[in-house]
Amino acid sequence: MGIDYYAVLDLNPSATDTDINLSYRRLALKNHPSNRPEAGDVFRELAEAYDVLSDLRKKATYDKFGEEVLKAGVPQLSGEDGAWISPYIFHGNPHQTFRLFFGEDNPFAERDVSLTLDDLYHGCTKKIKISRKVINEDGYTSSIQEKILIITVMPGWNDGTRVTFPEEGDQGPNSVPADIVFIVRQKTHPWFTRQQNNLVYKAPISLEMALTGFSVDVETLDGRLVNIPVNDIVHPGYSKLVPGEGMPLPQDPALRGDLILTFDTQFPQKISTEMFGKVLVKDLEDQNGASQDC
């Protein structure tokens, strides 16, 4: 059974030329190797299907006889003696089809947009001015036009989030305008680092604090001062989890990730007698507490 070119492009045989162009555009952009490296075979099938269905003669032959006969070659549809439609062979280069359709190899026109961690925590609106070529009324010459694109940043967006403005790129007389894609780039924050939906805060502490207990005041991204007690001995690799004090979840901004406290313990060159006594008292208190819990 031959290839169903209409099914490849998510179409039915009644599709118009406009339907074919729009469907190829959508699917080729979605499955372009720069977006989906694993979709190479799909990208090639899309190019072959478009190569056939966008050509009137190939499409007529395919519609009447199917893919297998199209590739084998058939007599002219007019029935002229000796007339023959040559076997169809796909040229095998999906990027060539893509380039002819869009007028360039990369129609994504990607740009970075830098956002602070506060922007990504609260959400915000960014207005970005672009300049692009537009076709004049004569259909051939072009001029430069400025336009404002508005990005609505949702709370919890991650670094690398892509925002696409379809067909807002340069126009050409025989090509489809490129999409403009903005990629979120998160700026460095003074005291938080981000791990997906969690926030990490590193607190500098003394050895005495690490051994005897302390509390940490952390100013959150929404302006609150959270006091976090630490009663455990802070050993190398120790961290403390504070639930619900991280980033908003993109799928539900009412929910939050966690805050993770890590510690940078400053070691003295020598331990005083006073510090040793405090550590000993703390150890005895912990042992007594453990005994009473039993």
Please say whether the beta carbons of 103 and 174 come within 8 A: yes
Which residues sit opposite 256 in a β-bridge? 248
Rounded CA gap, 112 and 181, in Å? 8
Strands of 198-206's sheet in order across: 192-195, 198-206, 259-266, 239-242
User: For residues 133 and 243, what is the distance between their CA atoms, to the nearest angstrom?
Assistant: 50
pLDDT tens-digit readout, 59-97: 999 998 899 888 988 766 555 554 567 899 999 999 999
Residue-wise pLDDT tens digits, 7-59: 999 999 999 998 999 899 889 988 988 878 898 999 999 999 999 999 998 99
Q: What percent of the chain has pLDDT over 70?
A: 85
Q: Is the pLDDT of residue 156 over 60?
A: yes
Q: Percentage helix, strand, coil, to 5, in the chain?
A: 30, 30, 35
CB atoms within 10 A of CB 251: 8
- Average pLDDT over the chain, rounded to an integer: 86
* Cα 278 versus chain centre, distance: 52
Query: Whole-angstrom distance between the N-terminal and C-terminal Cα of the chain?
Result: 75
Query: pLDDT digits over 205-221, tens only?
Result: 988 888 888 999 999 99
Q: Is 111 helix (H, G, I), strand (E, B) or coil?
A: strand
The arithmetic mean of pLDDT across residues 164-168, rounded, is: 88
Instruction: Reply yes or no on whether the pLDDT at 294 is more than 50.
Output: no
- Model confidence pLDDT, tens digit, residues 87-114: 999 999 999 999 888 776 666 678 899 9
Contact present, 40 and 47 (Cβ < 8 Å): no
Residue 157 pLDDT level (bands cut at 50, 70, 90): very high
Answer whether 77's CB lies under 8 Å from 61's CB: yes
pTM reported for the whole predicted model: 0.66
- pLDDT, average across residues 132-159: 91
* DSSP per residue, 263-276: EEEE--SS--HHHH
φ, ψ at 120 (rounded to 5°): -75, -20
Q: Which residue's structure tokens are 């453990």? A: 290
Query: Has residue 246 got a pLDDT over 90?
Result: yes
Beta bridge partners of 128: 149
pLDDT of 274 strictly over 70: no
Helix (H) or strand (E) holding 53: helix 40-53
Which pLDDT belongs to residue 267? 77
Give me 188's structure tokens.
Answer: 């460095």
pLDDT at residue 150, rounded to an integer: 97
Which residue's structure tokens are 């001029």? 143
Of 187, 186, 147, the C-alpha closest to 170 is: 147
The first and second tokens of residue 6, run together, are 């209409």
For residue 242, give the nearest of 192, 279, 288, 283 by alpha carbon. Answer: 192
Three-state secondary structure call for residue 68: helix
